[in-house]
Amino acid sequence: MNQVFCQSCGMPMKESSIFGTELTGEKNKEFCLYCYENGEFKQPNMTMEEMIQFCIPFMVEEGIKEDEALTILQKSIPYLKRWRKCHPISEPKIVLKDGFTFMGINTRTMNAIEATPEGVIPSMWEKYYTGQIAAQIPNQVNPQHTIALYSNYESDVSSEYDFSIGTEVEEPNQSSNDFVIKTIPASNYAVFTTNQGKITEIVPMAWIDIWKWFETSGVERTYTGDFELYDERCVDPDQAVVDIYIAIK
């Protein structure tokens, strides 16, 4: 199950008692009771920057250093529904995709780490491009395609997983000590297409929408391998469009 976060302050909402309320008394599953009550925000004129500063002391009480709390909030608050600048992504397409072989660089991480200054995904992208990794991968199916792969999940979205950057390859005749090789099974996928914009903004925003979609859709993930596909539409990183494939039952 995906973790539900308040789409105003980012607080985890593990119990329905924390949900905000509508005028009818109905629970609102998007906003917490500290931000939203009786169908409206308690502090309707609060800015995003004020919300970040408001949340810092609560995170410090939980043992997080003030500078780390600021970094975490700056990386998460702008993508929440109340503050985001673009519309949510559209409903996904459901497609069946054959299995494929992936080759690239690999690390181990989890979403809780990626929300902190210790997150490794940005440094992996830097390593991929500065090290010219794409040029070193043999037998590529499509050299114009870069894949960011999420695989080998420990359990679900809250657990550890492998994060890899590379591409689809023909069946390799030998392994390389420098790269990981992964076999991704055939699967049905829910394919989400991001809004057009800056890659570093549209992809995190899309993941927020994806987690929310799975909370309400009733569709179950298999965690057999999910990936972001960067193709010809990403030539301009400031006006990019990315497809995100989520394996489903």
User: Mean pLDDT throughout 79-101?
Assistant: 89
**CB-CB contact of 222 with 245 (8 Å):** no
Closest CA to 161 of 169, 173, 153: 153
- Helices 48-61, 66-76: axis angle to 10 degrees equals 140
The amino acid that residue 109 corresponds to is: T
If you count them, how many residues does the chain have? 249
Highest mean pLDDT among 50-59, 85-94, 165-174: 50-59
Instruction: Specify whether the backbone of 205 is left (phi greater than 0), alpha (psi in -120 to 50) or beta.
Output: alpha
Closest CA to 73 of 50, 86, 55: 55
Q: How far apart are the first and last CA of the chain?
A: 14
How much is the mean pLDDT over the chain?
92
Residues 143-166: pLDDT tens digits?
A: 999 999 999 999 988 899 999 999
DSSP code for 239: S
What are the phi and psi torsion angles at 136 (to 5°)?
-95, -5
> pLDDT class for 1, splitting at 50, 70, 90?
very low
Bridge partners of 201?
none
Structure confidence at residue 205 (pLDDT): 86
Position 83 pLDDT exceeds 70: yes
Bridge partners of 107?
163
To 5 degrees, how large is the angle CA 67–CA 69–CA 72? 110
User: Mean pLDDT throughout 35-59?
Assistant: 95
**CB-CB contact of 72 with 59 (8 Å):** yes
Position 87 pLDDT exceeds 60: yes
DSSP code for 140: B
Position 108 pLDDT exceeds 90: yes
**What is the pTM assigned to this prediction?**
0.77
Position 2 pLDDT exceeds 60: no
Structure confidence at residue 44 (pLDDT): 95
| Structure token digits, residue 27 | 């629970």
- Where do the H-state alpha helices sit in 108-162? 111-114, 121-130
